[in-house]
């Protein structure tokens, strides 16, 4: 069965600090996809990144970076030099090979990130 665990329920930091959001996943599939979404107070889930299970290369996009490690089943997300606009709930999600059925996303419980000025 698929499962995503985000152990950090809430994180609060001061602006300009670096912050890492943890994500641990479980799956029996060898082909799967990992995602991060941002949910601001408005409610809409904003797509941030997708990685497939065969690509363990870390990725950097501006102040955002992602560390994918299959050995520990983790897909962590780091925000460098955080800003108040980064305040939101962040979700990690997992999708197994959609060719075998519905393209279902399994989400973690989310981490509420608050950046204080």
Partner 1 sequence: ETGVTQSPTHLIKTRGQQVTLRCSSQSGHNTVSWYQQALGQGPQFIFQYYREEENGRGNFPPRFSGLQFPNYSSELNVNALELDDSALDLCASSLAGVETQYFGPGTRLLVL
Residue numbers of the site for partner 1 (CB under 8 A)?
4, 33, 35, 37, 42-47, 50, 52, 91, 93, 95, 98-99, 101-110
Q: Which residues contact 14 (CB under 8 A, 6 or more apart)?
A: 115, 116, 117
**What whole-number distance in Å separates Cα of residue 15 and Cα of residue 61?**
19
Return the number of the residue (33 or 79) whose C-beta is nearest partner 1.
33
Q: Between 88 and 93, whose beta carbon lies closer to partner 1? A: 93
| Minimum distance of partner 1 from residue 56's CB (angstroms) | 17
3-class SS at 98? Answer: helix
Of 43 and 62, nearer to partner 1 (C-beta) is 43
Q: Give the three-class secondary structure for 100.
A: helix
């Amino acid at each position: 069965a698929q499962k995503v665990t985000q152990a950090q329920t809430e994180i609060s930091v001061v602006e300009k600090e670096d912050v890492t959001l943890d994500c641990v996943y479980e799956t029996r599939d060898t082909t799967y996809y990992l995602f991060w979404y941002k949910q601001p107070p408005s409610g809409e889930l904003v797509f941030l990144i997708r990685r497939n299970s065969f690509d363990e290369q870390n990725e950097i996009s501006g102040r955002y970076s992602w560390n994918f490690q299959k050995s520990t089943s983790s897909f962590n997300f780091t925000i460098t030099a955080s800003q108040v606009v980064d305040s939101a709930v962040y979700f990690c999600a997992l999708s197994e090979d959609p060719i075998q059925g519905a393209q279902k996303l399994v989400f973690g419980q989310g981490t509420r990130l608050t950046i204080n000025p």
